[in-house]
Amino acid sequence: MMIRPYWDKFIGWLTIGRVGLILLLIALPGIFLSYQAENPVFRLDGLLRQSYTNIAWEFVSIAFTILIIDRIYQAQDARREKTQTVQQLRSTDPDIVQEAAEKLRLEGWLADGSLRQANLGQADLRHMQWQNADLRAANLTQANLQHIDLTQADLRDAILEGADLRCALLKDAQISEAQLTQAGRLTHAVMPDGRMYDGRFHLPQDLQDAASAGFNTSDPISLARFYDVPVKDVMRDA
């Protein structure tokens, strides 16, 4: 019990640097004795050469270990940063959302798979420039995607239930008609085939918007004016 206070004080005094110095002081006599046993005539330069030879490969091994560990930590930090940035897309603060979207674009994370299976339900992503984005299996339920540019984006298996895609650019996007029928609104959207959406899916919210704006949803000519497409397109999809 008498030793305990001194032991606690010693432990508190120890640091990583001091432990290193202690180990070095312990090792030095061993190096000197080993050299003296092999070389009866002591020469400092000989001792230094032998010591360096003995520890050089150890230093190489330690260096590689440090580099590998550093690379692992960098990769982990990058993954955490990507995850945090994607999560910020669901913020209610438009500035935070815009900053996160810009970072995804500048870092090349839009197309590298960082957004695959991302939960972006109810996110406000209006006017985003997300050409070539990889949104496979992303949850975009009730997301606000008005005026978003998804040209050549990969939306396979993405959930678009209730999403607002008014005026969205979907030209050459990888997305199925079955997915688009889940959307809430598609008025004035450019479809994957390059044509303007013409009401072909008869989305209830689009039709409600048309009726609220005074258009006759039973009249193809009136609907053609609402969708801003030729009457023949509305007639074809009727």
Average pLDDT of the segment spanning 59-79:
69
Which position has the higher pLDDT, 142 or 31? 142
Average pLDDT of the segment spanning 119-126:
96
Q: For the segment 216-233, what is each residue's pLDDT rounded down to a tens digit? A: 999 999 999 999 999 988
pLDDT of the residue at 63? 59
pLDDT-above-70 percentage for the chain: 70
Average pLDDT of the segment spanning 158-178:
97
Architecture of domain 80-195: 3 Solenoid (2.160)
pLDDT-above-90 percentage for the chain: 62
Phi, psi for residue 144 in degrees, rounded to 5: -90, 105
Most confident of 6-10, 25-29, 45-49, 90-94: 90-94
Average pLDDT of the segment spanning 59-81:
70
Provide the residue ranges of all domains of the chain, joining segments of one domain with +. Answer: 80-195, 198-238
Residue 53 has pLDDT above 80, yes or no: no
26-30, 96-100, 181-185: the lowest-pLDDT one: 26-30
pLDDT of the residue at 25? 64
pLDDT of the residue at 40? 59
pLDDT of the residue at 66? 61
Average pLDDT of the segment spanning 169-185:
97
Q: For the segment 190-225, what is each residue's pLDDT rounded down to a tens digit? A: 999 999 999 999 999 999 999 999 999 999 999 999
pLDDT of the residue at 31? 55
Residue 43 has pLDDT above 70, yes or no: no
